């Protein structure tokens, strides 16, 4: 999935949208109402009475719209961009360090097998890939990862990803950008494979190739939100997709 940062973190085009109220002219002794569209009146939620008329126009309905102050929107968007560009990467450096320590404790056979790991419900979860794993092999991998501190580091990455996605949602809890995806600590392992995330950012990996200094681990994980969203966009449900307006 190719992601352009400003485009992927979409900002609502209308900061202040008062909508359109459908009204009809109120004429005495008239059996038919002529529908007309006019700019709506502003009704504040804390007002005790909903107006039945606006001037000589009969109010036929209301359009609910959430309004976010520009400074609040910019602060929220800035936070999302920060996590997307460097926040996830900083935590991924810690994760890679722990992961490599764990690999050194495994046999070459287990290292070469196709498996992944993630977090779910507060626990580390090892997942089979194209290769099947015995109960003993699963336990050996899990023990090596936990003893190396992968569980803690993996949760740091997961929490950053979840925070980024949830922060992208506007005051109405919806988004047309990355916030539209349903990613939380309960389903994280179903959406993101953190071993794949690390391997794709190795010097020979998808996002590590072509760098001036691929051995600089921090630079390899810059913009690592792209790799995470590659997985999220394929596996996560769009439960928080905002409608077109």
DSSP string, 13-69: S-SS---EEEEEE--TT-SS--EEEEEPPP--TT-SS--SEETTEEE----------
Stretch 158-170: mean pLDDT, rounded? Answer: 98
| pTM recorded for the entire structure | 0.76
User: What does the block give as tokens for 161?
Assistant: 């990803």
Whole-angstrom Cα distance, residue 45 to residue 193? 44
Q: Are residues 30 and 122 in the same domain?
A: no
Q: Are residues 76 and 171 in the same domain?
A: yes
Range of weakest confidence among 48-62, 140-154, 181-195, 210-224: 48-62
Is 13 a domain residue? no
Q: Are residues 83 and 29 in the same domain?
A: no
Domain region containing 28: 20-59
Q: Are residues 48 and 76 in the same domain?
A: no
pLDDT for 32 equals: 44
Whole-angstrom Cα distance, residue 51 to residue 45? 12
pLDDT for 210 equals: 82
| Cβ atoms of residues 231 and 193 within 8 Å | yes
pLDDT for 22 equals: 42
Q: Are residues 41 and 76 in the same domain?
A: no
Q: Are residues 37 and 132 in the same domain?
A: no
Phi and psi, residue 190, nearest 5° = -75, -15
Q: Are residues 104 and 26 in the same domain?
A: no
Q: Categorize the per-residue pLDDT at 214 as very low, low, confident or very high, splitting at 50, 70 and 90.
A: confident
Q: Are residues 44 and 130 in the same domain?
A: no
pLDDT for 25 equals: 41
Is 103 a domain residue? yes
Is 5 a domain residue? no
Q: How far is CA 27 from the centre of its chain?
A: 52
Phi and psi, residue 17, nearest 5° = -115, 105
Q: Are residues 79 and 55 in the same domain?
A: no
Q: Are residues 150 and 207 in the same domain?
A: yes
Is 241 a domain residue? no
Is 10 a domain residue? no
Average per-residue pLDDT in the chain? 84
Q: Categorize the per-residue pLDDT at 14 as very low, low, confident or very high, splitting at 50, 70 and 90.
A: very low
Q: Are residues 55 and 105 in the same domain?
A: no
Q: Count structural domains, the chain.
A: 2
Closest CA to 197 of 160, 172, 239: 160
Whole-angstrom Cα distance, residue 245 to residue 232? 25
Q: Are residues 50 and 83 in the same domain?
A: no
Is 97 a domain residue? yes
């Amino acid at each position: 999935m190719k992601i352009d940062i400003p485009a992927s973190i979409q900002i609502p085009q209308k900061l202040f949208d008062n909508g359109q109220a459908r009204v009809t002219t109120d004429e005495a002794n008239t059996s038919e109402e002529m529908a007309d569209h006019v700019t709506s009146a502003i009704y504040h939620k804390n007002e005790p009475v909903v107006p039945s008329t606006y001037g000589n126009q009969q109010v036929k309905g209301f359009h609910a719209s959430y309004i976010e102050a520009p400074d609040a929107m910019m602060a929220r968007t800035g936070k999302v961009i920060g996590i997307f560009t460097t926040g996830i990467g900083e935590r991924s450096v810690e994760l890679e360090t722990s992961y490599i320590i764990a690999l050194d404790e495994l046999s070459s056979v287990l290292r070469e097998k196709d498996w992944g790991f993630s977090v779910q419900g507060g626990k580390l979860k090892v997942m089979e890939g194209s290769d099947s794993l015995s109960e003993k092999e699963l336990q050996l991998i899990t023990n090596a990862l936990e003893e190396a501190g992968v569980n803690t580091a993996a949760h740091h990455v997961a929490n950053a990803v979840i925070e980024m996605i949830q922060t992208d949602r506007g005051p109405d809890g919806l988004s047309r950008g990355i916030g539209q995806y349903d990613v939380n600590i309960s389903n994280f392992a179903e959406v993101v494979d953190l071993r794949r995330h690390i391997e794709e950012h190795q010097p020979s990996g998808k996002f590590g190739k072509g760098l001036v200094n691929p051995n600089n681990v921090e630079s390899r994980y810059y913009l690592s939100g792209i790799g995470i969203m590659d997985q999220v966009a394929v596996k996560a449900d769009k439960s928080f997709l905002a409608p077109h307006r």
